């Protein structure tokens, strides 16, 4: 049986189903752990962990800088740029950096060597500690379109040859940012809520993890009496149900105040501890987690 | 045509439920779902006819002609998006490819071409009276902003003479949200009273403000945490953002939605509350006065009853 | 003057296109010769930066004046670099707008909307 601790990605398709609730509490219940907040547009994990003395790093992308003295006006760069980030008018080149995708093509192709690359800040990654958890939070700057460079930087923070489980809090949806977040995951936990919207979006991330051949299971959150369309989906598709979190006003209250239920409440410490065990079994790593009991 | 966009910052606050209610109450003849990553509005919209479906093409994707590939690896060493896989032959990883064309430009064997690639599916529902535009971005795709713009454009073309269009937005503050904000007349932010909800609301408010578009905030599930709801109200007051009202948590709402009913048409607490929010939003939308009017920012909606 | 106008159809009697970057055609009208030329707008199919690409097309067309209902700030930079003056169009046909411009009845376009961050627009 492999001893390598797991990297677990928590995703959901639909927003608001409980990704952060689950990923934060799993990390808290796991003893020594690493938590990565890849929802860089709207990161929330840090509100619960409140990491001590967080250190911040800037995340930058490369954008071109044109030396107008060297520019001969050949316009190869303008013609090449697939994103129309370059133009040429009034005898000088112009750059529109908000549209630039940092591909490096213009700098590469300029026959006059008039283009070099410079850094543009797009976000930050902050690192800090909360109890037994190393917390890494990615934040996209307001107005920037894509969080992928921030997510990439964040994933680079995972200690290599690490001995602790890693929990990745993913963005909602199933587009490029989510795909980037689950790239290195050993196991995916899909969090679903019992509404038609929830089930519909669960189907989307089910498709994503299946396509990427990631082992996965579902956690049903906000469970109440009555029909659960997400549970029905799981049964229909033979998806393992790892656990059920009941709709509980007490949990809701703890959560809305930014408290980590697994740290404040014995019942939830046990619930998330069991969930960890179940994930471990499902991922065939029985001894992966050093749960706080 | 006035366009009202419903956003939230945080996911799961109730955008689609509120959008659905507004569409029903306004009898909107034009509406769109701009959450192209995880569209849900069609699940609560009732259409008897099938929509017009079309493919959406984003950026082209690189393709390596295996017959011409000499395995030099120039493409791999220049690709910034980790989209080339070495091997015999070299292959493009389509999900990672952003269509920049650098590989095609550097290949000494002319083995790389840029090919059109469908990145999603658009659907336009129409009848004599209404138009509903929606789309689904293919899994793992980028260029969601362009698809959002296309969804709005189709709604606009299909319903030129319509007075009010309601647009259901997506969570977050990035690409699809920025594209959806462009050109709308007003943004309604549906916030939830939790620490995460407030943090996310502040970020989406800042994003909307950077576009100088009329913005209002309402709080859903307000009674779950009255203190946090009050915090949101103070935040709005301080910034001069009109507060459009509160909607209580309502177990009946979930049942209604799960059985395909619209909360605006039911005599349940959330239904009654969303009708009041709707009236407040309509008053703001059609008002010609300047955007941030301190006197009316809170008005009679101050405090939680 | 060499006036350019975004258009949906290749007819002087057609209405001005509401979009700048994604208009299917640009009319190029020479007031000295009264001749009309039609430029197919290759920028219309762009994934992003359509305004910039359309403005580049116009910068290269020899136009000195643009009449349009709207225009983004990125496109405006290219247009002003090329010394193209931008006027706000009025409701009506291209012909009506050209006549209005000649009679000095059109106002310069003073508000340029924020770029759509490369996402269409």
Would you state the structure tokens that stand for residue C104, as one six-digit string?
């000095």
- Spatial contact of B51 and B125, defined as CB atoms under 8 Å apart: yes
Low pLDDT (below 50) residues in chain A: 1-2, 286-293
CA distance A289 to A273: 9
Among chain C residues, CA nearest to B174: C117
pLDDT of residue A191: 96
Across the interface, of A17, A105, A256, the residue whose CB is closest to B225 is A256
Q: Which residues partner with B54 through β-bridges?
A: B122
Angle between helices B226-239 and B195-209 (to 10 degrees): 20
Say whether B149 and C120 touch across the interface (CB within 8 A). Answer: yes
**Closest Cα of chain C to B57: distance in Å?**
8
Q: Phi-psi region for residue A185, left (φ > 0), alpha (ψ -120 to 50) or beta? A: beta
Across the interface, of A14, A179, A226, the residue whose CB is closest to B140 is A179
- Looking at 3.90.226.10, 1.20.1090.10, 3.40.50.300, 1.20.1250.20, the CATH number of the domain B2-32+163-301 comes to 3.40.50.300
**Closest Cα of chain B to A75: distance in Å?**
15
The dihedral formed by the CA atoms of B270, B276, B279 and B283, expressed in degrees to the nearest 10: -130
Quote the pTM value.
0.82
Q: Which residues of A touch C48 (CB under 8 A)?
A: 83-84, 99
Among chain C residues, CA nearest to B57: C47
- Spatial contact of C21 and C50, defined as CB atoms under 8 Å apart: yes
Would you state the structure tokens that stand for residue B225, as one six-digit string?
């945490």
Residue C32 CB contacts under 8 Å (≥ 6 apart), including other chains: C1
Q: Where in chain B is the domain with CATH 3.30.70.20?
A: 59-116
Q: Which residues partner with B165 through β-bridges?
A: B3, B30
CA distance A289 to A280: 7
Q: Which residues partner with B92 through β-bridges?
A: B84
Its sign, for the CA torsion A69, A72, A75, A76, is negative
Q: Round the average pLDDT of chain A to a whole number and report it.
A: 91
Residue with token string 């395909």? B260
The fold of B59-116 is Alpha-Beta Plaits (3.30.70)
Which 102-121 residues of chain C touch chain A by CB within 8 A? 115, 117-119
pLDDT of residue B288: 61
Q: Which of C71, C85, C118, C121 to mutate to test the interface with A (most CBs of A within 10 A)?
A: C118
Q: Give me the phi and psi of C50, to 5 degrees please.
A: -65, -40
User: What is the DSSP secondary-structure string of C31-66?
Assistant: TTTTEEEEEE-GGGG-SS-HHHHHHHHHHTTT--EE
CATH 3.90.870.10 fits A7-32+163-282, yes or no: no
Q: Which of A71, A82, A84, A86 to mutate to test the interface with C (most CBs of C within 10 A)?
A: A84
CA distance C6 to C94: 9
pLDDT of residue A151: 96
Q: Where in chain A is the domain with CATH 3.40.50.300?
A: 7-32+163-282
Q: Which residues of C touch A94 (CB under 8 A)?
A: 77-78, 81
Angle at A66 between CA A61 and CA A70, to 5 degrees: 150
**Tens-of-pLDDT digits for all 305 residues of chain B?**
899 999 998 888 999 999 999 999 999 899 999 999 889 999 888 898 999 999 999 889 999 999 999 999 999 999 999 999 998 889 999 888 999 999 999 999 999 999 999 989 999 999 888 999 999 988 777 777 788 988 998 998 888 788 899 999 988 887 788 888 877 889 999 999 999 899 999 989 988 887 778 999 999 999 999 999 999 999 999 999 999 999 999 989 988 888 888 999 899 999 999 999 999 999 999 986 444 443 433 333 333 32
- Spatial contact of C73 and C113, defined as CB atoms under 8 Å apart: yes
For residue C110, pLDDT over 60 is answered with yes
Angle at A183 between CA A181 and CA A186, to 5 degrees: 105
Q: In what order do the strands lie in the sheet with B214-220?
A: B52-57, B118-126, B131-137, B30-33, B164-168, B2-7, B186-191, B214-220, B243-247
CA distance A77 to A81: 6
Does A196 contact chain B (CB < 8 Å)?
yes
Assembly ipTM: 0.89
Q: Which CATH architecture has domain A61-121?
A: 2-Layer Sandwich (3.30)
- Looking at 3.40.50.2020, 3.40.50.880, 1.10.8.590, 3.30.420.130, the CATH number of the domain C2-102 comes to 3.30.420.130
Among chain B residues, CA nearest to C17: B157
pLDDT of residue A3: 53
CA distance B62 to C58: 30
Q: How confident is the model at residue C115 (pLDDT cuts 50, 70, 90)?
A: low
3-state secondary structure chain A: CCCCCCEEEEECECCCCCHHHHHHHHHHHCCCEEEEECCCCCCCHHHHHCCEEEEEEEEEEEEEEECCCCCCCCCHHHHHCCCCCEEEECCEEEECCCCCCCCCHHHHHCCCCCEEEEEEEEEEEEEEEECCEEEEEEEECCCCCCCHHHHHHHHCCCCCCCCCCEEEECCCECCHHHHHHHCCCCEEEEEECCCHHHHHHHHHHHHHHHHCCCCEEEEEEEECCCCCHHHHHHHHCCCCEEEEEECCHHHHHHHHCCCCHHHHCHHHHHHHHHHHHHHHHHCCCCCCCCCCC
Q: Which residues partner with A56 through β-bridges?
A: A126
Please give the C-alpha separations between residue A199 and each of A177, A182, B41, in angstroms, as whole numbers.
Answer: 21, 20, 14
**In B24-45, which positions are buried (b, 16+ CB within 10 angstroms) versus exposed (e)?**
bbbebbbbbbbbbbbbbbbbbb
If residue C105 lies in a helix (H) or strand (E), which one and from where to where? none
């Amino acid at each position: 049986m492999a001893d390598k601790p797991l990297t677990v990605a928590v995703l959901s398709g639909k927003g608001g189903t409980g990704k952060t609730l689950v990923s934060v509490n799993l990390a808290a219940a796991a003893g020594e752990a690493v938590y990565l907040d890849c929802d860089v547009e709207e990161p929330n994990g840090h509100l619960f962990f409140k990491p001590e003395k967080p250190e911040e790093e800037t995340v930058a992308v490369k954008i071109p800088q044109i030396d107008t003295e060297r520019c001969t006006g050949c316009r190869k760069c303008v013609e090449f740029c697939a994103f129309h980030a370059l133009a040429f008018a009034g005898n000088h080149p112009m750059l529109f950096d908000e549209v630039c995708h940092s591909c490096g093509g213009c700098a590469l192709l300029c026959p006059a060597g008039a283009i070099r690359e410079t850094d543009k800040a797009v976000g930050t990654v902050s690192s800090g500690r909360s109890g037994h958890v190393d917390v890494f939070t990615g934040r996209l700057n307001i107005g920037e379109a894509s969080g992928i460079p921030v997510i990439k930087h964040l994933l680079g923070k995972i200690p290599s040859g690490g001995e602790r489980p890693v929990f990745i809090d993913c963005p909602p949806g199933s587009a490029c940012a989510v795909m980037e977040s689950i790239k290195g995951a050993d196991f995916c936990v899909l969090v679903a809520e019992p509404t038609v919207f929830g089930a519909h979006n669960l189907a989307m991330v089910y498709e994503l993890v299946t396509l990427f051949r990631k082992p996965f299971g579902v956690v049903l959150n906000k469970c109440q009496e009555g029909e659960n369309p997400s549970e029905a989906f799981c049964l229909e598709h033979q998806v393992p149900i790892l656990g059920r979190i009941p709709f509980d006003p007490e949990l809701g209250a703890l959560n809305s105040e930014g408290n980590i239920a697994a740290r404040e409440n014995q019942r939830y410490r046990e619930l998330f501890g069991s969930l960890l065990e179940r994930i471990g079994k499902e991922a065939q790593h029985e001894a992966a987690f050093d749960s706080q009991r | 045509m006035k366009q009202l966009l419903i956003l939230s910052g945080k996911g799961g606050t109730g955008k689609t439920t509120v959008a659905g209610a507004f569409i029903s109450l306004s009898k909107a003849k034009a509406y769109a779902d701009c959450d192209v990553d995880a569209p849900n509005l069609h699940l609560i919209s009732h259409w008897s006819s099938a929509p017009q479906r079309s493919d959406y093409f984003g950026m082209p994707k690189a393709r390596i002609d295996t017959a011409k590939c000499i395995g030099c690896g120039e493409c791999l060493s220049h690709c910034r998006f980790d989209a080339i896989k070495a091997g015999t032959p070299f292959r493009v990883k389509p999900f990672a490819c952003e269509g920049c064309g650098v590989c095609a430009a550097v290949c000494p064997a002319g083995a790389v071409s840029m090919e059109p690639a469908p990145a999603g599916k658009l659907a336009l529902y129409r009848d004599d009276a209404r138009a509903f535009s929606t789309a689904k971005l293919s899994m793992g795709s980028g260029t969601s902003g362009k698809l959002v713009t296309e969804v709005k454009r189709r709604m606009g073309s299909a319903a030129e003479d319509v007075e009010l269009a309601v647009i259901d937005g997506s969570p977050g503050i990035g690409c699809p949200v920025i594209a959806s904000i462009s050109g709308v007349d007003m943004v309604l932010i549906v916030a939830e009273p939790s620490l995460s909800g407030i943090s996310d609301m502040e970020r989406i408010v800042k994003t909307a403000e950077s576009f100088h578009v009329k913005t209002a905030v309402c709080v859903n599930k307000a009674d779950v945490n009255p203190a946090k709801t009050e915090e949101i109200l103070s935040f709005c007051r301080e910034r001069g953002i009109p507060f459009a009202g509160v909607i209580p948590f309502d177990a009946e709402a979930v049942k209604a939605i799960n059985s395909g009913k619209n909360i605006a048409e039911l005599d349940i607490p959330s239904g009654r509350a969303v009708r009041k929010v709707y009236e407040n939003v309509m008053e703001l939308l059609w008002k010609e006065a300047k955007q941030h009017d301190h006197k009316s920012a809170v008005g009679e909606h101050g405090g939680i009853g | 003057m060499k006036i350019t106008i975004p258009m949906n159809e290749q007819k002087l009697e057609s209405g001005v296109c509401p979009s700048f970057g994604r208009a299917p055609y640009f009319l190029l009208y020479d007031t000295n010769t009264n001749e009309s030329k039609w430029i197919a707008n290759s920028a219309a199919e762009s994934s992003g930066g359509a305004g910039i690409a359309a403005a580049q097309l116009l910068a290269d067309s020899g136009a000195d004046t643009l009449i349009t209902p709207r225009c983004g700030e990125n496109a405006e930079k290219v247009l002003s670099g090329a010394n193209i003056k931008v006027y706000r169009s009025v409701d009506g046909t291209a012909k009506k707008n050209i006549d209005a411009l000649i009679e000095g009845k059109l106002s310069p376009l003073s508000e340029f909307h924020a770029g759509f961050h490369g996402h269409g627009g």
